Amino acid sequence: MSQDKRFARLQQVQQTAYQLAPAIRQMFDRAGLAPADLKTVDDLSRLPVLKKESLVDLQQQRPPFGGFLAAKDEDIARIFVSPGPINEPQLRHDRDGHGFGTAFAAAGLGPGDRVLNTWSYHLVPAGLLLDEGLRAAGATVIPAGTGGSELQAKLVMDLNVTCICASTAFFITLAEAIEAMGHKLPGGWKVKSALLGGELGDWLGKRRRLEAKYGIRTFAVYATADFGVIGFENGAQDGGYEIHQDRIVQICDPVTGAPLPQGEPGEIVVTTLTPGWPLIRFGTGDVAAATATNADGTVQRIGMLQGRVGQAVKAREIFIYPRQLEDLAISIPGIERAQAIVARPQQREEITLRLALSPDADRDAVLGAVPARFTALSRLKADRIEIVSADELPADAPFVVDRKDV
């Protein structure tokens, strides 16, 4: 979509929102802007970032939608309730499950596919939005919901399921239950693909291993309860996401809200181009870096998620994120776990890397590889590296620790 079309749609959506949604009108008025002023990404960036916790507070002050609904009551098809709690309307004009139809079509699903949907249909939007997206793509849905792994395993075999939508852990549970029933996989089932929920750690590696073991293709989407689909893989194998055409995404400094250059991780800030629930400059709290940018300065593609904003620690004006420490451990043989500690013993912030090594690790090789790899991941230089025991750095230890004020 060209810049002119993208921002013309944004102006149209926000002009209606300005008239119908008092919270949107207040955002524009406080910034000294009108919807017609939104002609470039720089204009959009003049609006403040709306944090998720602020939306929770606003909905409590002005229930049920906090003044952000830009539609009539009769236009609401469903009201989802997500943790927070946050109330999210689904409007009657939504025909593809908040973008899931586009994501499933991009993954090659369509007529002839029978899909087991194991996500919850209770209050939260996941199950129903996936259901609608699958049907929009032309697939047949089996609305299994959560739990009952033995029954669901039987359904996979009895109904010749071709795709499973599940968390990675539940997919493994289903596959093992099917094998326990006496079926040999992958030859014994019809499953060709799986939409898997994301995990931290070596998730891409885990997916490749599942693909090889069970003869399937896996894919993923980046979605939130607030927007539905924000990005989808679109055939790429790098763990990143192509931004949905109905979303404008910026990667922003978590503190100032200012847009960051391509390649620098920051908070994913989203503006929707769909009417009715017209969230603008909404801070998801998720962290990623842009890997491709549109000509108008908006983000075309993001890399893998790197954690949540609250998990990051700032060192020398640059944030260190958990994903960077995970990637450090994954990319260098012999490292089982890694942790960064940021301290300020005098006037300079110092970074200490703590590493727990495997018993057969080549200590010298690890110490030789870590400095350059950490700098490549974080753009920062570590001041010292400490080798510690596994007991000193347990599996549940935080990846990044802030000791600047200690």
Q: In what order do the strands lie in the sheet with 221-224?
A: 221-224, 228-232, 241-243, 299-302, 290-293
> Which helix or strand (DSSP H or E) is residue 5 part of?
helix 3-20
The more confidently predicted of residues 167 and 347 is 167
Q: Which residues fall within 8 angstroms of residue 299, CB to CB, at 6 or more apart?
A: 243, 249, 250, 251, 290, 292, 293
Virtual CA dihedral for 280, 284, 289, 291, nearest 10 degrees?
-50
User: What domains, with CATH codes, occur in the chain?
Assistant: 3-93+224-308 (3.40.50.12780), 100-219 (3.40.50.12780), 312-403 (3.30.300.30)
Inform me whether the pLDDT recorded for 364 exceeds 70.
Answer: yes
Q: Is the pLDDT of residue 2 over 80?
A: no
Q: Is the pLDDT of residue 406 over 70?
A: no
Half-sphere exposure of 400 (CA within 13 A, CB side): 26
Predicted pLDDT of residue 347: 78
Return the pLDDT at 401. 94
Cβ 134 vs Cβ 117: under 8 Å: yes
Length of the chain, in residues: 406
State pLDDT tens for residues 71-85.
999 999 999 999 889
What confidence tens digit (pLDDT) does each residue in 200-223 have?
Answer: 667 888 999 999 999 999 999 999
Tell me the two tokens of residue 313.
């620690």
Q: Indicate the Cα dihedral angle 303, 276, 278, 305, nearest 10°.
A: -20
Is 70 exceeded by the pLDDT of residue 266? yes
22-55 pLDDT per residue, tens: 999 999 999 999 999 999 999 999 999 999 889 9
**Least confident stretch, 245-249, 254-258, 268-272, 309-313:** 309-313
So what's the pLDDT on residue 145?
95
Of residues 334 and 311, more confidence is placed in 334
Average pLDDT, the chain: 94
- Report the 10 Å Cβ neighbour count for 234: 17
User: What value does the mean pLDDT take over residues 106-133?
Assistant: 96
CB proximity list for 201: less than 8 A, separation 6 or greater: 326, 330
Residue 261: asked if its preceding bond is cis (omega within 30°), the reply is no
pLDDT > 70: what percent of the chain?
99
Report the C-alpha gap between 195 and 200 in whole angstroms: 16
Residue-level pLDDT at 234: 84
* CB-count burial class (<10 Å; 0-12, 13-18, 19+) for 90: buried
Find the mean pLDDT for residues 91-119: 96
Question: Is the pLDDT score of 244 beyond 90?
Answer: yes
Hey, what are 298's tokens?
Answer: 């908006």
